Structure 1
Amino acid sequence: MKLLVVLPWMPYPLNDGGKQGSFNMLEQLQYKLDIVLIYPVESVNQLKYQMELQERLLNIKIYPFEYYHHKGNVFSQFFLFRLHRLLTKKILKQPYLATPVYEETYINFVNDVILKEKIDVVQNEYVELLYLVYTLPQHVKRIFVQHEIQYINKKRNIQTRDFVSSELQYLFNKIKQDEISAMNQYDFIVTMTEADKEILVNDGVRTPIYSSPSFIPLHKGASFKACTENNLTFIGGSVHYPNLNGICWFLKEVWPLILEENGDMKLNIIGRWTKQAKKNIQRKYSNVNFLGFVPRLCDAITGTIMVVPILIGSGIRMKIFESVNCYTPFVTTKIGVEGLDFKSGEECIVADDPREFAKSILELTKNVDLQQMLAENAHKKLLDKYSSETSSQRRLCIYEELYK
């Protein structure tokens, strides 16, 4: 079997959870499958990572699509799609409600690679490539890897609003049906969690669905270190809206309650944030630090309490895997831990109410024994259920099912 993996972005450097999830699986499977990889290079600056990526994926043949040469003219549907995305996401701060549009040169590029490499199976990943299924030749098997169900993300976003217009409800219903219809064009769907699989089945996806979570490599030498210096940590950039939504809720509803009890508490935010977002937050809230991208994540989060206040979205939180991998206890919400087998009071603490969330953090910072129990139990669960070996073997079994 020859597998073509099509990604909507270069999976390197590993500076966000999505890239980590895709890269780690490719790195693990490259010696077990014949893999070809396509992704867009959006700017010349990205070319500096090309050689490093190829060195880590030596057994994978890579076809980068030089996107910066093919951006389309101002009259193209592709250009209008990009303009719509810019207006909705960056300026209006609205849920992303446009169906992706692919430029002709990109469609031809993908299909040329399929013919040249004699591809048997095409695997599209992320909602950005969901609709590419309509351009694929009929002789190939088609898999879609659903990292995050976008219509569920939008549904939960809409549910946080005080008022939902009939127009917004119409747009949501339309895009939900568009996504489900597109998924039904595939031969297999792969979700990150059993919870997402159940949602899709209940909502009318008829294509066979298998759950196969992403993973992160084990940090060698990691061990538990007590949080004794009033440090909380959050991992995630502002570009991914569930992160922005979650941290804004935490700062508005939970952070004042924590500082009222312990004015020395500090929150360190790791990840890429816009200058304006950082300025707005630090102007309104005290004791908040932005660390940006940190090359040695384990060093930055060990000895802290991780907060994962996610209220919208689906899929899995790679930030939880990172926390557990480094023996860092975490406090999260039901949606934050949705689909992962970490139980409140055993491997983590789950709280949706702001006062309960604050209380849980304050109590955890004072109880080193509880910190250690949660961290060690969660790490054992990570090794048992979400190791690189277990997760990659699960994915291999799915590919085998495709040809039964």
Structure 2
Amino acid sequence: MKKILFIIPCIPYPLTSGGNQAFFHMVDYLRHKMSVSILLYPKGKEKKDVEKLKEVWDNVDFFIFTEEMTEPETRHPFYYKWLKKIALSTTRKMRRQLLTHDKDVVRKDMTLTSSIFEPLPSKYAEYISTVSRSGFDIVQVEFYPLISLGYLLPGDVQTVFVHHELRYVRNENEMTFLDKVTDEERMLYRIGKDFEHSALQTYKHVIALTEVDRQMLIDFVGGGEKIYVSPAVVKIADACDKQVVPTASRLTFVGNEGHYPNLNAVVWFCQDIAPCLRSQGFHFTFQVIGPWRSSYIKELQAACPEMELVGYVEDLHSFLNGSIVLVPIRIGSGMRMKILDAVSSKAPFVTTTKGVEGIDFRHEEECLKADSVYEFASAVIRLAGDKDLQVKLASQALGKLQKLYNPQEMLDRRLAIYDQILEMK
């Protein structure tokens, strides 16, 4: 069996984000077709998640880099750790003090400043360099925070970068929501775009999640023959057994606040769309699924008292069934797992054009699309008041998902890409 090493910056378990789901389902399939290894860097409580993942993936080899490996040699290790905790605590408090004077949510969380090259911990880089030279046929890196690894990986293996979200596109989207773009922000955008362009060229192959992203990547870096499309996968095995359960008022959103496009979407709904719904006499509950614990919450719940924080849901598809899923996404690229989750739950959804970009779901056929506050609110009210439309959209969306994004076919497609890559060796 061919040997593949996956390197990712996050712990893909539990399945609390779209990125985790996309990675988990793909590896869960590939581990029976290839000799799979995964290199992780767990921090704090994430170590427990890694141990659980090891139980699930009993035939995967794990390379674990820990925080302890980064600790320098000191005369008094415990005293050093105590001082480090104080320094981190002081940094957090200083940041909170600064943020109290900055109410611009976009600037607080936008990715411009994190899109340029940032050195990785030196011992982590050395660990990756050593492990990646241990006889693998393919070394695959996923997610933008590790894109710079292309400069580090060995030249005698097939290197792959999976681009879940084109960063320069996301930065462009975020900048459109600023009242005024500063000269420094324009500079950071150009530096980040140049870095992304150069970093992508250090990989021998790039995988995008949608054809839209693939075409943008070809225009961006060229080399179309080595840029592939491999959509994300969700499980739909039991979706056909579900019934569409219409609702008149229950709205849901899936996504954690750590991903800024999610935060932007919820802020837009709470501050702009929800008041528009209320002004038209529409009564609703808005259930937000995923970790939301930041300082924004009180402000958002004050603007939208209908918002309920649900947290992590064990059976997401059962929870979404019987709701209208909202996808008011205005930023980013890639494939929205929250849409695939809605469809797999037999739940109708309302989205923006950006939210459904790259997925072949049509307005009035598989979903409702709206891009302005009034249009989005009107679409929600219309769908909530029409049970037949809910059944129609949810049923037709599932049929389209089974036809175009059949999980087994998507998994087989990824394996075929690896076979093609290995033939080039």
Q: What TM-score results when the alignment is normalised by the length of structure 1?
A: 0.92
Deviation at 1:389, TM superposition (A): 0.7
Which of 316, 323, 336 is matched with 2:342 structurally? 323
| Map of 2:131 onto structure 1 | 113
**Aligned equivalents of 2:348, 2:301: Cα separation in 1:** 25
Establish whether residue 62 from structure 1 lines up as the match of residue 77 from structure 2.
no
Question: 8 Å contact 1:42–1:68 — kept in the other structure?
Answer: no
Deviation at 1:57, TM superposition (A): 1.5
TM-aligned CA distance change 1:71 to 1:182, over 3 Å: farther
Report how many aligned residue pairs link the two structures. Answer: 394
**Aligned equivalents of 2:394, 2:281: Cα separation in 1:** 23
**Aligned equivalents of 2:71, 2:217: Cα separation in 1:** 33
Cα deviations across residues 190-213 of structure 1 (Å, max 9, x unaligned)? 001111111111223436211111
Establish whether residue 95 from structure 1 lines up as the match of residue 96 from structure 2.
no
| Map of 1:280 onto structure 2 | 299
SS at match of 2:133: helix
| Map of 1:145 onto structure 2 | 162
Cα deviations across residues 280-338 of structure 1 (Å, max 9, x unaligned)? 11122221111111112123211110110000011111111110000000000000000
Question: 8 Å contact 1:10–1:41 — kept in the other structure?
Answer: yes
Establish whether residue 134 from structure 1 lines up as the match of residue 151 from structure 2.
yes
Question: 8 Å contact 2:248–2:385 — kept in the other structure?
Answer: no
| Map of 1:297 onto structure 2 | 316
**Pairing 1:142-181 to 2, within 5 Å after superposition:** 142-181=159-198
Matched to 1:65, the amino acid is F
Matched to 2:130, the amino acid is D
Instruction: Could you tell me which runs of 5 or more consecutive residues in structure 1 were left unpaired when the two chains were aligned.
Output: none
Matched to 2:70, the amino acid is H
**Aligned equivalents of 1:374, 1:134: Cα separation in 2:** 46
TM-aligned CA distance change 1:109 to 1:14, over 3 Å: same
SS at match of 1:203: helix
Matched to 2:200, the amino acid is M
Question: 8 Å contact 2:290–2:310 — kept in the other structure?
Answer: yes
Question: 8 Å contact 2:282–2:381 — kept in the other structure?
Answer: no
Deviation at 1:15, TM superposition (A): 1.0
Cα deviations across residues 254-275 of structure 1 (Å, max 9, x unaligned)? 1111122234211111111114
**Aligned equivalents of 1:294, 1:401: Cα separation in 2:** 38
| Map of 1:193 onto structure 2 | 210
Establish whether residue 51 from structure 1 lines up as the match of residue 68 from structure 2.
no
TM-aligned CA distance change 1:358 to 1:38, over 3 Å: same
Matched to 1:101, the amino acid is P
| Map of 2:43 onto structure 1 | 42
Deviation at 1:70, TM superposition (A): 1.6
TM-aligned CA distance change 1:197 to 1:72, over 3 Å: farther
* Identity value in percent: 32
Cα deviations across residues 120-155 of structure 1 (Å, max 9, x unaligned)? 211000011110111112111110000111111111
| Map of 1:217 onto structure 2 | 235
**Aligned equivalents of 1:149, 1:67: Cα separation in 2:** 29
Matched to 2:384, the amino acid is T
